[in-house]
Amino acid sequence: MLHELTSAYAGSPVLFAGSAGVIGLVVGSFLNVVIYRLPLMLEREWRAQATELLRSADSAQTAAAAVTTTVTAAAVPPFNLVEPRSACPRCKTPIKARHNVPVLSWLLLGGRCAACGENISARYPAVEIATAFASAAVAWHFGFGAAAACALAVTWALIALTGIDIDHQLLPDGITLPLLWAGLLASVAIGRVAPRDAIIGAAAGYISLWLVFQAFRLLTGKEGMGYGDFKLFAALGAWLGWKPLPLVILLAAAAGAVLGILLIVLKGRDRSAPIPFGPYLAVAGWLALLYGNEMIGGYLRLSGLDR
């Protein structure tokens, strides 16, 4: 059965892309949970660590603090990517399975909570649809195999990072660092990118943005980006190798500059207001993952450098 299924996917790009799109809808629903809950989980963890530090600062209360911490940890209900069940933020009614079908449930409910009628953000089905289309595009481009599986994982990670960075201007280490190490391991296991190029790409990605960060801080006295951007660019370098990195940074910077100018001109946005750079890196990196060679080749032909 498994052999027949693999043969069917390998022999029919349309079937594989369609199946990847359906799986992408389900994964997109889970990514919505990641985008919403992971920053809250990190905030709770940071608060707990800060509380521990404050308690342990007074050595006379260390023993009492340990007891209090144990009791508190036992009393606090679990909050992670699995528990508790998704619920309406207004009425706290748990969302039933039939109301949690990607995109379809949102459409049938008219974008409102089934219990209290509270509006449900259109971003939830938007993330699901974007994940479905991106997954189908990856499957169509790479075809059935290990390369497509890796590219799908990268795509889903980039979508989660994009959503979190837009909301919180945060690129969690819990996603960027595994993405980096997975890229280095994939260069050994799959060989689509040579291990040497992947290692150089990871180092070049991190160091290049770190240098830009330091230069900008010296010139302006401000921090132009966060360390999460360095780690994301390093992860892209691990997956793509070092050669497409100039293309990625140029695309990301150009898109960021254009959108920033539009926000200032059309919406009167404050010029000093920070704009997350992670989404631009993620989109540019994803385009380079699929079409990097074609884009570089087209540029070389247009510039005459391939002669």
In this structure, are 209 and 286 located in the same domain? yes
Task: Show the domain range for 8.
Answer: 2-108
Q: Is the pLDDT of residue 72 over 70?
A: no
In this structure, are 172 and 296 located in the same domain? yes
In this structure, are 87 and 167 located in the same domain? no
In this structure, are 86 and 156 located in the same domain? no
- pLDDT for res 71: 45
In this structure, are 170 and 284 located in the same domain? yes
pLDDT tens track for 175-221: 999 999 999 999 999 988 999 999 999 999 999 999 999 998 999 88
Could you tell me if residue 239 is inside a domain?
yes
Could you tell me if residue 129 is inside a domain?
no
- Domain stops at, among 108, 136, 159: 108
Could you tell me if residue 200 is inside a domain?
yes
Q: Could you tell me the pTM of the whole model?
A: 0.89
- Domain stops at, among 108, 132, 163: 108
Query: SS3 letters for the chain?
Result: CHHHHHHHHHHCHHHHHHHHHHHHHHHHHHHHHHHHHHHHHHHHHHHHHHHHHHHHCCHHHHHHHHHHHHHHHHHCCCCCCCCCCCECCCCCCECCHHHCCCCHHHHHCCCECCCCCCECCCHHHHHHHHHHHHHHHHHHHHCCCHHHHHHHHHHHHHHHHHHHHHHHCCCCHHHHHHHHHHHHHHHHHCCCCCHHHHHHHHHHHHHHHHHHHHHHHHHHCCCCCCHHHHHHHHHHHHHHCCCCHHHHHHHHHHHHHHHHHHHHHHHCCCCCCCCCCHHHHHHHHHHHHHHHHHHHHHHHHHHCCCC
In this structure, are 150 and 262 located in the same domain? yes
Higher pLDDT, 7 or 33: 33
pLDDT tens track for 31-64: 999 999 999 999 999 988 888 888 877 654 555 5
In this structure, are 49 and 163 located in the same domain? no
In this structure, are 150 and 103 located in the same domain? no
Could you tell me if residue 120 is inside a domain?
no
- pLDDT for res 184: 97
- Domain stops at, among 56, 85, 108: 108
In this structure, are 94 and 186 located in the same domain? no
In this structure, are 159 and 293 located in the same domain? yes
Q: Is the pLDDT of residue 68 over 90?
A: no
Could you tell me if residue 116 is inside a domain?
no
Q: Is the pLDDT of residue 174 over 90?
A: yes
Q: Is the pLDDT of residue 297 over 60?
A: yes
Could you tell me if residue 113 is inside a domain?
no
Q: Is the pLDDT of residue 69 over 70?
A: no
In this structure, are 166 and 289 located in the same domain? yes
- pLDDT for res 220: 86
Percent of residues, the chain, with pLDDT higher than 70: 91
Q: Give me the number of domains the chain comprises.
A: 2
Name the range with the highest mean pLDDT among 11-15, 58-62, 73-77. 11-15
In this structure, are 290 and 157 located in the same domain? yes
Could you tell me if residue 135 is inside a domain?
no
Higher pLDDT, 223 or 143: 143
Could you tell me if residue 158 is inside a domain?
yes
